[in-house]
Amino acid sequence: MAIDEAILRELQQQGSDVLPTLRLYGWKKPSVSLGYFQNVTTEVNIPFCRRNDIPIIRRPTGGKAVLHDDDLTYAVIAREDDRLFPGGLVGTYKVISQCIAAGLEKLGVRADMVEEGRPSDGADFQAFCFSAPSQHELLVEKRKICGSAQIRSKGVFLQHGSLLMSFDPLQTCRTLIPSGADAAALQRRVTSLYEYADRAAVDRGICGILKEAFEECLEIRLIDGSLTEAEEKMKSHLLNSKYRDSRWNMEGKRLYED
């Protein structure tokens, strides 16, 4: 999260000629990421997370909670006026979902884009990102496979998303959803890539496949890169002032101002 926000902040300071960034990454251990505005005490099973050594981190982006385990997380950071992402927030969702859908198509998986979002069907699932699709998110056979959230600030946006490789509804219920929630009902709403694609092919090449899909859909060439010196410095600052601070992660409060 510190890396993604550091890229966002440094892009805010740069001119319009700075290139957008696509990051693809996984998680070292099962972890919960909270949306910017979420109340952790009512929407995450904190005792269960502590007993099972599941860290809780608050994202800079909005949306609902995600249990990151066997998933691929993406981050797209660009200027709001970048020609690749017309149409504001909703248009950006649509463009990025088209890229991801094209990547899934390369694996033989057809993902349909939701034209209109719909609310969660029950209170038990309201805190969980995959409980219901938002506009322009992706479904496979009417089940959500990828959830996304965004922040826009000072002319720059950061969009996070989680593409599920596999999905454990029982563990999700234990971690994020109130006691008594029906794991079978959640399974009917959510799916994952391994249900439809060859696991070896996914593990061998998912990042490369998505890279190709973004390049083809956007008619660009992606260049491998690393953090700049300024981004590294900002990342370290954000780690110390924000993302390693329990008051930020649990309450949304900062240790000190920038």
What average pLDDT does range 71-93 have in this prediction?
A: 94
CB-based contact 136:125 (threshold 8 Å): no
Tens-place pLDDT, residues 121-140: 554 445 555 555 567 789 99
Tens-place pLDDT, residues 240-252: 999 999 999 999 8
Tens-place pLDDT, residues 186-233: 899 999 999 999 999 999 999 999 999 999 999 999 999 999 999 999
Please list the active-site residues.
129
Determine how many CB atoms are found less than 10 A away from the CB of residue 200.
Answer: 8
- pLDDT for 120: 47
Tens-place pLDDT, residues 153-194: 999 999 999 999 999 999 999 998 766 568 888 899 999 999
Tokens standing for residue 20: 């957008």
CA 116 to the chain's CA centroid: 19
Q: Using the structure block, give the residue that is written with the tokens 């033989």.
A: 108
Query: Which distant-in-sequence residues (6+ apart) come within 8 Å of 94 by Cβ?
Result: 87, 113, 136
pTM of the predicted model as reported, rounded to 2 decimal places: 0.90
Tokens standing for residue 83: 């020609």
Phi-psi region of 142 (alpha: psi -120 to 50; beta: other; left: phi over 0): left
Backbone CA torsion sign across 30, 95, 64, 253: positive
CB-based contact 241:258 (threshold 8 Å): yes
Strand duo 56-58 + 31-34: pairing: parallel
- Considering the segment(s) 2-245 as one domain, its CATH architecture is 2-Layer Sandwich (3.30)
> Which residue, among 241, 257, 10, 57, has the nearest Cα to 160 in the 3D structure?
57
> Which residue, among 253, 234, 249, 164, has the nearest Cα to 2 in the 3D structure?
234
What DSSP assignment string belongs to the chain? -HHHHHHHHHHHHS-TTSPPEEEEE--SS-EEEE-TT--HHHHS-HHHHHHTT--EEE-SS-S-BEEESSEEEEEEEEETT-TTS-SHHHHHHHHHHHHHHHHHHHTT---EEPSS----SSGGGTTBGGGSPPTT-EEETTEEEEEEEEEEETTEEEEEEEEESS--HHHHHHHHS-TT--HHHHHTTB--GGGTS-HHHHHHHHHHHHHHHHHHHHT---------HHHHHHHHHHIIIIIT-HIIIII---SS--
